[in-house]
Structure 1
Amino acid sequence: MSGEESRKPNKVRIAKCILAHGEISKAEIAARLDLSMPTVFKNVKELMQLGIITDGNEYQSTGGRKAKGLSIADHILYSGGIDITRNHISYVFIDLKGNLLCRKRIRMPYENSFEYYERLHEGFASFLKESGIKSSKILGVGISVPGIIDSQNQLIITSHVLKVSNVSLKNLSQLFEYDVYYENDANSAAIAEFADSGRDAVYVSLSDTVGGCIYINQRIYMGEHYRSAEFGHMNLVRNGAKCYCGKKGCADVYCSARVLSGYADGSLDKFFELLQAREEGAGKIWEKYLEDLAVLVTNLRMVFDCDIILGGYVGGYLKKYIRELNKKAVKYDPFDNDTTYLRTCRYEREASAVGIAMRFNERYFDTLA
């Protein structure tokens, strides 16, 4: 546990401990958080009175006898998540446990106009009605956006994907009756992937552009100018193919989803269908893609020496091919024959929308003192 976590009020720590473990006894909470049993009993009672936690099932505890578990209560509060991409908008709702309850994806090409934001909000209102969730139970709405985001000032500094820069999102915020929070899409997806892990990790987003996130001491490292983890612009091939940023040989040129979808009329699904059918051209492109990806991930492993999670559009397909990637990664890393550090994402769809919604869950638990 980080020093910051240990300094938080006991009620917050206990609630988060229960959240992280799903179900846990009072004795185990006391042991894990180094708290006295009277302190645990007092705070658990208060959390139950608030309706936040509830008794779970009886199970064998570490003390050798059956203990009643505690868990976060269902159907108390919810958070909404919206993911904006170049051509689509995704909506999700999650509960306090972080469970994905419902989702919806609509096609709507992005444009920086008030009419677009109005349609986005109308889509959310319709999704809320379909979900059956009471608006009074919503903690807030998080919105993930591809690009460099100034969350505090609700500003898109720049977005290559959306082809805009210096765009204020305050007009969009004013349409909602809830608190609204903005974050980069890769950071948002990483929040969903890192939830409850307690481990340092690097998240690599393999979408139409290559991005990522660095998660250290249970927080995202943002960098001085909100530009950390721009893995797509690390040089992968000296004097290689030209990247949209103007440099040559960037990882984005070799590891983005476009490398694959470009072979299949812009469809990633179609590319993997061809790959499954053992189509020769798709096989050659995939072999080269995995080779380049292996170089990228082993470079990141050399720098950070922690788990690496592969997500984004391609990450959703990689589980079936992770052994092939592992074999290639070993070739480029003479110091580490164990590739268990390399993992595929657990959210194959809507990770960014789920992750940005989790921001409000975290904020809620932090205010329980």
Structure 2
Amino acid sequence: MALRQGSKQRFLGWEVGQMRTAPGGNGRSRAKRPTMIDVAREAGVALRTVSRVVNNDPTVGPDYVARVQSAIKALNFRPDERARQLRTGVSDTIGAAVRRIAETNPALAAIEQTARAAGLTLLASSTDFDEQREHDILISMCRQRLDGVIVEPIGESHSYLESELAAGMPLVAMDRPMSGVSVDTVMSDNAGGIGMAFHHLRKHGHKRVAYIGDDERVFSGHERAAAFRACLLAHGGPTDGLIHPGELTAERVGAALDAALHGPDPATALVTGNMDTTLAVLRRLGPEAARLPIVGFDDVPLADLLSPALTVVAQDTARIGATAVELLRARIADPARPVQSVVVPVSMTIRGSGEIRP
């Protein structure tokens, strides 16, 4: 029913055109945000009509739509998203808990771009490789009832999220699986990338190739070390002294380099298992790095400025991020669909460091 017109009507205790105020935190009054009741009063229509226009109901007549939109503009009205979320159970907002956010993160950039194209807002937070922080961030995102969350997992177990999954919270793991729960996952072809690096160096004449990588307690660290071990065995060569996974510290990387390059039967080339390992190796070697054939897994900032420039196995991080959003949207649309694991191919970027012959 339309509201009656009048110069000074009262509507739920407020005069038409009267500014609504409420005490501010400093004791002063502040203007309250206009509500749909205010819009209905301004437009001279029923409250239900305003609700239908705000929610894009196509059955509302154009005259009513024009009146309501004019009132919305005049009052600078903004719909209450919290009320809409309570009504629909949809926030159009997803979360991303990633390992690093303070530096360039191509996967996160792809997540944001893909989400925006789908009309979604992204809330992102950095776990900083801290398992307790990851726990707290994920629990907080779940309690905010976001539409779904993408995770770059670091914790050894995510079974604490089982109740959230059972309650319908969509989760997608990116870069490595989540442990203790079954969720959709997107990650790079770790084994294929290590095989590319190993065979590339063998093709350039290196019979003894060593590997230095991440701790095998980390999923990707285990996959890459295992793939390198398989490459050595497939070529009938020994593995002793050539495979060095472990904690990413300068001391540990230094000891691994000494064992691989200065033993009785030294390696003549090196595969590094991820970006952090590559950087640690380059820092440790200093100028000597220019003489050692190296292929790194993951690209490295300014790798093309080194001399020689660094040859790498490049992950398609943009595709990984976009696929993570696609998997999340598919899970939101169909919570009962089978759990899916997507492996994204990698590629070689040849620049010079992996092409040095013995």
**What TM-score do you get using the length of structure 2 for normalisation?**
0.34
More strand by share: 1
Structure ID, larger Rg: 2
Does 1 or 2 have the higher relative contact order (CA < 8 Å, sep 6+)? Answer: 1
